[in-house]
Copies of this chain bind each other. A is one copy, B any other.
Amino acid sequence: MSNISPPRKRRKEARPSELSAAALDLFVEKGFAATRLEDVAQRAGVSKGTLYLYFDSKEALFKSVIEDGVVPVLVEGEEIASRHEGSAFELLEKLLANWWAGIGETSFAGIPKLMTAESRNFPELAQFYYENVIRRGRAQVASALERGIASGEFRKLDIETTIDVVIAPILMLVIWRYSMACCQGTQVDPQQYMAVHLTLLREGLKRTQV
């Protein structure tokens, strides 16, 4: 098969998301500066000029990729937290499972690695991401921890620090997949990983009976 590009086709409605998806893939893999717009265009099946019909600049494309992303998953988590009636640990479990299903197993999964890599280069975008993604996710975990401590289900721990320790393995799981996982012979099984994490949490968080 030759490398003849497909004939031109107008797709005004679909283009933005096609371009964003292509850009996300390459930004996640290579980082912002090392990604060439020629490659993004090729990945999307268009020419480079087409990118500038829909995005003002490379940076505008990058920002849209981050901004049009994971917020709906956070909204779902907020709903789960607001109507939960079981134990605090069950809530925590549901929140982490929802986060995993909505981000960890979707095309958004590369965003944590991308934000990790680029936050110092794009502080305003990092701020946006922090306010709209990280802070909201933390608040959900906080609500589960607060409930558990209040009811005596969980031991007393500093909540802000415990959120960090609870979330870290989940973040690391997706970040790892898009960075160092290529060097590892085996693949991490997310179900098993989550099971171990939850097991350690369940026992670790329990308030010690006197």
Contact = CB atoms under 8 A, between A and B. Distances in A.
Nearest to A189: B161
Which range contains the number of A residues in contact with the other chain? 35 or more
Interface in A119-171: 119-121, 123, 126-127, 129-131, 134, 155, 157-158, 160-162, 164-165, 167-169, 171
Contacts of A158: 192, 196
Contact of A169 (B121, B164, B184): B164
Contacts of A34: 31-33, 121
Interface stretch (A9-17, A84-92, A109-117): A109-117
A130 B179 CA distance: 11
A110 to B, nearest CB: 11
A200 interface: yes
Contacts of A120: 29-30, 178-179, 182
B130 A183 contact: yes
A204 B203 CA distance: 4
Contacts of A204: 199-204
How many monomers of this chain does the complex have?
2
A206 interface: yes
A118 B161 CA distance: 28
Contacts of A119: 179-180, 182-183
A126 B180 contact: yes
A193 B180 contact: no
Contacts of A32: 31, 34
28 contacts: A30-B120, A30-B121, A31-B31, A31-B32, A31-B117, A113-B116, A116-B117, A116-B175, A117-B179, A119-B179, A119-B182, A120-B178, A126-B182, A127-B183, A155-B199, A158-B196, A161-B195, A161-B196, A162-B196, A162-B200, A164-B172, A165-B169, A175-B175, A199-B204, A200-B200, A200-B204, A201-B204, A203-B205
